[in-house]
Amino acid sequence: MSVYLLAIDQGTTSSRAMIFRRSGEVVAVAQQEFRQFFPQDGWVEHEPEEIWESTLEVCRRVIADSGLKAEQISGVGITNQRETTIIWDRATGKPIHRAIVWQDRRTAPVCTQLKNRGLENTVVEKTGLLIDPYFSATKIAWILDQVEGARQRAEAGELAFGTVDSWLLWHLTGGKVHRTDATNASRTALFNIHSQTWDDDLLKLFRVPPALLPEVLDSAADFGEVDADLLGAPLPVAGIAGDQQAALIGQACFEPGMAKSTYGTGCFLILNTGDAPLRSENRLLTTVAYRLNGKPCYAIEGSIFVAGAAMQWLRDGLKLITHASESLSLAETVGVENAVYLVPAFTGLGAPHWDPHARGAILGLTRDTGIAEIVTAGLQSVCYQTKDLVRAIQNDGAPLNELRVDGGMAVNDWVMQFLADILSVRVDRPKVTETTALGASYLAGLQLGIYESTSEIAELWARERAFSPEMAPALRESLYAGWLDAVERICHN
């Protein structure tokens, strides 16, 4: 008898649902984009109810498209855009403000004040994170301060905070469950990754009332049951992880030293460091990779805010292309020796620069520069930013000999070859590149006993293609030096 798992992959620009067989084979996919709001420079918002409605719609559609009945599905796994902050009314389930998205930089002045008070080391020691607008803590405080009466209502226990997983779980269970998992909790800057608890000192520091917070469970756990009226059967929600951790699991990076890089809206490189949290000396993040049976596994992570979003901007903003797939043929005509550099710092720079005030630029323009060169520079920017992360990881003493890749841009052969060349590391692309959703389904399967262990999951991983470095070292160094010069020109740090 076939086993089926439903994965909800709630991303920054779209909500997706996928049904997998036990083998990891995709049965059906449904996806729906939703609106992005940019009210001010550096601000990024979503309507929480659109996140929920689009998620429910794709879940219903994927079940219909699969030809399955809801009761044939064993369980549900959720993976989500991380750090995005939602606060809602516990009585009505209505949000009190738009969601503040992970990319949002509005709390940069507050973060600067906290750093100037010498508090960053305390935050790093407890959370593995830097003080930055990226994380949820300052977003929560901003909403409570800006929405009239919100702080008093939060302290009275009338409001709930959640990252997107908690928001979806609340609605899937008909408002019965307010929970999250350790990976999402570890991205709030309120969670002590050593004690695996919400931290009283951090709650006071960031002025967040404890009554707002969800219960934190393992990544594979009994999170609750989907209301039968929503999908047609009372399905157990059995796995939750933030999108980048879910991709690490989907890529079967269960051994220390294994790494994956996901190319979606942003780019996120995570390297498994095992039982011990490794503190970065190069402004990378220490985070929870996953927590199973009460035992956390740690990782070191580099976060890039803009990867696929740069191509989306070239398509929708500048209208240089009509579809992202056109970039491949344009890059092939230009070649790798492109003198144009696009630094996509639209909402600041992430790791290892952490400059919220940096803004994007295109450098190296001449009269010969055309659409093809600018589009190619957009593709190359993703690889150069990955090189920044890999160099920082290696300087932290964590060797990286191969890299497993996934996400939308991973299907572009030209980009993956350039990535291997600029990193001087073998790049492995799996047969299933939608590993974020796959990781969520694996977590649900672990909890439900469909998989006995992570070793069993690791045996399911299969390589579709390997990209080996071919570029001459002198050219690699020259191209990357040009990138470093371009970044230096826009940084404010």
3-state SS track over 451-467: CCCHHHHHCCCCEEEEE
Amino acid symbol at 268: F
Q: List the chain domain ranges.
A: 4-242, 251-430+462-493
Q: 226 phi and psi, to 5 degrees?
A: -65, 130
Q: Is the pLDDT of residue 175 over 80?
A: yes
Question: Angle formed by the axes of helices 371-395 and 413-423, to 10°?
Answer: 40
Amino acid symbol at 425: V
Q: Using 50, 70 and 90 to split pLDDT, how confident is the model at 254?
A: very high
The superfamily in CATH containing domain 251-430+462-493 is ATPase, nucleotide binding domain (3.30.420.40)
Q: What is the mean pLDDT of the chain?
A: 93
Maximum C-alpha span of the chain: 64
Whole-number pLDDT of residue 223: 98
Q: Using 50, 70 and 90 to split pLDDT, how confident is the model at 460?
A: very high
Whole-number pLDDT of residue 433: 79
Buried-state track 109-119, b at ≥16 Cβ within 10 A, e below 16: ebbeebeeeeb
pLDDT digits (tens, 9 = 90+) for 31-70: 999 999 999 988 999 999 999 999 999 999 999 999 999 9
pLDDT digits (tens, 9 = 90+) for 99-144: 999 989 999 999 999 999 999 999 999 999 999 999 999 999 999 9
- 391, HSE (Cβ side, Cα atoms, 13 Å): 14
Amino acid symbol at 440: A
3-state SS track over 421-449: HHHCCEEEEECCCCHHHHHHHHHHHHHCC
Look at 317 and 168; give whichever has higher pLDDT. 168
CA distance 488 to 447: 47
4-242 against 251-430+462-493: fold identical: yes
Q: Using 50, 70 and 90 to split pLDDT, how confident is the model at 493?
A: low
Q: Is the pLDDT of residue 260 over 80?
A: yes
CA distance 242 to 305: 16
Q: Using 50, 70 and 90 to split pLDDT, how confident is the model at 448?
A: very high
Whole-number pLDDT of residue 1: 60
pLDDT digits (tens, 9 = 90+) for 312-368: 898 988 888 888 788 888 988 999 999 999 999 988 888 788 787 889 999 999 999
CA distance 18 to 28: 6
**Looking at domain 4-242, does it have CATH number 3.30.420.40?**
yes
pLDDT digits (tens, 9 = 90+) for 395-436: 888 778 789 998 888 889 999 999 999 999 999 999 987 899
Whole-number pLDDT of residue 328: 84
Work out the percent of the chain whose per-residue pLDDT is above 90: 78
Q: How many CB atoms lie within 10 A of CB 223?
A: 29
pLDDT digits (tens, 9 = 90+) for 232-252: 999 999 999 999 999 999 999
3-state SS track over 76-99: EEEEECCCCEEEEECCCCCECCCE
